[in-house]
Structure 1
Amino acid sequence: MSGYRLTTVETVRERGSWAFTAREGDADREVFLVPCADEPDGEATDPDRPVRAWVNRCTHEDQRLHREGVGAVTRGGSVVCPKHGSAFDACEGSCDNGEAAGTTLRSVDVEVRDGAVFLTDDDLSYLREGLSDEDDGGDEGPSSSSHLTF
């Protein structure tokens, strides 16, 4: 068993999401962790995989789903795109509504051992906690065309 220790399941649950930057080939990739829970009490639907990791980009448009200072917006077991309101299942990554309907977020392999989350994806090398230094339209977030408010 190997992998880079990222954080704890408890931290992901407390914050609602947790992000890091990794290297894939010659490019940096932003990744975020979210609890995989459908129950109101936050209990994981699959106790062996209480969190999931996703590349931090909406499948419809090159838009961050997790932002510094805000995290990922989640509702009812879904991660919501702040620009268009498409909702991605936090456990499966699939979307069945909005502009991104019929698409699935790109997953990143992680493993949970003794309450800690490890990066086990062979294609990625951990660089740092938090998002990359790239500008994503400023601190105010995306201009939204969604009918949802957060």
Structure 2
Amino acid sequence: MATRTRLTSVESVHEEGSFLFAVRDEYGEDGEVVVVPCEDEVAAFRNYCMHETDQRLAREGIGAVVRDGEMICPRHGSTFDTCSGDCDNGKAAGMTLADVDVTVEDGQVYLVDDDLTYLYEGAVQDEDDDDGMPSSTSHINL
């Protein structure tokens, strides 16, 4: 059984638009997870675009760009359904985000994924991450 770690509240995710946190996987690699609104609840995904895995979907201090039930990749403009992670447009069309197991109890969101260990709220700090902003070739204006 997975260790339960409280992350945030459903209400906060809906108010802020997303919640970003750092994790360590079963191989000792650090990564990020973004929690996004999904109808009345939330869903969680690894924080990278399926088309280009070094491209983050959410940034610390900015969060994820979510509009009309879709999370937008800031680089190419592909949009991912916030409930399923499916993409039906752009360079990531036909791909699905890597989901992360979370559960909601009494309005609180908990990480329950057996393959991930919660590290801290926010992004993994990269030494070569100059300004924290993604480069963009997207046709979508945010």
- Tell me if TM exceeds 0.5: yes
1:100 to 92, 96, 113: 92
TM superposition outliers: structure 1 runs of 4+ over 4 Å:
none
1:15 is matched with which residue?
Answer: 16
Question: Residues 136 and 108 from structure 1, CA distance in 2 versus in 1: closer, same or farther, beyond 3 angstroms?
Answer: farther
SS at match of 1:112: strand
1:25-61 residue CA offsets vs partner (Å, 9 max, x unmatched):
2101200100002xxxxxx2xxxxx100000000011
2:44 is matched with which residue?
Answer: 53
TM-score, normalization by structure 1 = 0.88
In 2: Cα distance, 1:80 partner to 1:115 partner? 26
In 2: Cα distance, 1:136 partner to 1:83 partner? 18
Which ranges in structure 2 are unaligned for 5 or more consecutive residues?
none
Question: Residues 68 and 4 from structure 1, CA distance in 2 versus in 1: closer, same or farther, beyond 3 angstroms?
Answer: same
Structure 1 position 142, deviation (Å): 2.1
Matched, 1:126 2:118: yes
Report the count of equivalent residues.
139
2:4 is matched with which residue?
Answer: 3
Matched, 1:113 2:115: no
SS at match of 1:108: coil
TM-score, normalization by structure 2 = 0.93
